[in-house]
Structure 1
Amino acid sequence: MMTVIDAHCDVLSKLLLDPTICFAGNDSRLDVTKDKLQQAGSAMQCFAIWISESLPESNMEQIRTCAELFHSRIIEQAGMVAVRSSEDLQAAVRAGRPGALLTLEGADALNGRVDHVRELYRLGVRMLGLTWNFANWAADGVSEPRNGGLTIKGRRLVKECDSLGIIIDVSHLAERSFWEVAELSGKAFVASHSNVFELCVHARNLNKRQITCIAERGGVIGINFFPPFVSANESATIDEVVRHIETVCEWGGERAAALGADFDGIGKKVPGLEDPSGYARLEEALSKRMSAELVERVMFRNWYEYFVTALPKSEC
Structure 2
Amino acid sequence: MLIFDVHLDLSMNAMEWNRNLRLPVSVINEREIGLTDKRDRGNALVSLPELRKGNIGLVVATQIARYVAPGNKLPGWHSPEQAWAQTQGQLAWYRAMEDAGEMVPITNLRELEAHLKLWNDDMPNSGKPIGYILSLEGADSMVNLSYVEKAYQTGVRAIGPAHYGPGRYAQGTNASGLMGPDGHALLKEMERLNIILDATHLCDDSFWDALGHFNGRVWASHNNCRSLVNHNRQFSDDQIRALVERGAVIGGVLDAWMMVPGWELGFSQPKSMHCNLEVVIDHLDHICQLAGNCLHVGIGSDLDGGYGKEQAPYDLESIADLQHLQALLENRGYGPADIRNIFHGNFIRFIRETWAFS
Q: TM-score, normalization: structure 1?
A: 0.92
Q: Which moved more, 1:202-211 or 1:263-272?
A: 263-272
User: Which stretches in structure 2 are left out of the alignment for 5+ residues?
Assistant: 30-43, 67-73, 120-127, 264-272
Which residue does the alignment assign to 1:241? 280
User: Deviations 1:46-97 (Å, cap 9, x if unpaired)?
Assistant: 1111126545434221121111111113x22243221111221111010114
Percent identity of paired positions between Structure 1 and Structure 2 = 22
For residue 99 of structure 1, give the secondary structure of its aligned residue in structure 2: strand
Which residue does the alignment assign to 1:47? 61
Q: Verify: 1:264 aligned to 2:300, yes or no.
A: no
Contact 2:55 2:320 in 1 (8 A): no
Which residue does the alignment assign to 1:108? 140
Q: Which moved more, 1:192-201 or 1:279-288?
A: 279-288
Gap change, CA 1:78 and 1:24, over 3 Å in 2: farther
What is the 5 A alignment of 1:1-316? 2-19=1-18, 21-27=19-25, 28-29=28-29, 30-51=44-65, 54=75, 56-57=77-78, 58-73=82-97, 75-96=98-119, 97=128, 98-111=130-143, 113-144=144-175, 147-234=176-263, 235=273, 236-252=275-291, 254-267=294-307, 268-289=311-332, 290-311=334-355
Contact 2:56 2:320 in 1 (8 A): no
For residue 135 of structure 2, give the secondary structure of its aligned residue in structure 1: strand
Contact 1:24 1:78 in 2 (8 A): no
Paired amino acid for 1:128: I
Between the aligned partners of 1:49 and 1:134, the Cα distance in structure 2 is 17
Flag as ranges the 4+ runs of structure 1 deviating above 4 A.
52-56
Paired amino acid for 2:65: I
For residue 108 of structure 1, give the secondary structure of its aligned residue in structure 2: coil
Between the aligned partners of 2:296 and 2:238, the Cα distance in structure 1 is 14
Contact 2:107 2:133 in 1 (8 A): yes
Gap change, CA 1:83 and 1:68, over 3 Å in 2: same
Gap change, CA 1:56 and 1:117, over 3 Å in 2: closer
Between the aligned partners of 2:306 and 2:131, the Cα distance in structure 1 is 22
Paired amino acid for 1:93: L
Q: CA deviation at 1:266?
A: 4.1
Paired amino acid for 1:25: L
Q: CA deviation at 1:104?
A: 0.7
Between the aligned partners of 2:170 and 2:115, the Cα distance in structure 1 is 35
Between the aligned partners of 2:187 and 2:245, the Cα distance in structure 1 is 19
Contact 2:139 2:169 in 1 (8 A): yes
Between the aligned partners of 2:3 and 2:77, the Cα distance in structure 1 is 36
Q: Which moved more, 1:154-163 or 1:81-90?
A: 81-90
Contact 1:142 1:172 in 2 (8 A): yes
Paired amino acid for 1:264: D
Between the aligned partners of 2:191 and 2:297, the Cα distance in structure 1 is 23
For residue 59 of structure 1, give the secondary structure of its aligned residue in structure 2: helix
User: Deviations 1:102-142 (Å, cap 9, x if unpaired)?
Assistant: 1111111224x111101100111111110111111211112
Number of residue equivalences:
308
Q: CA deviation at 1:312?
A: 6.4
For residue 109 of structure 1, give the secondary structure of its aligned residue in structure 2: coil
Between the aligned partners of 1:60 and 1:284, the Cα distance in structure 2 is 42
Gap change, CA 1:156 and 1:274, over 3 Å in 2: farther
User: Which stretches in structure 1 are left out of the alignment for 5+ residues?
Assistant: none
Contact 1:143 1:203 in 2 (8 A): yes
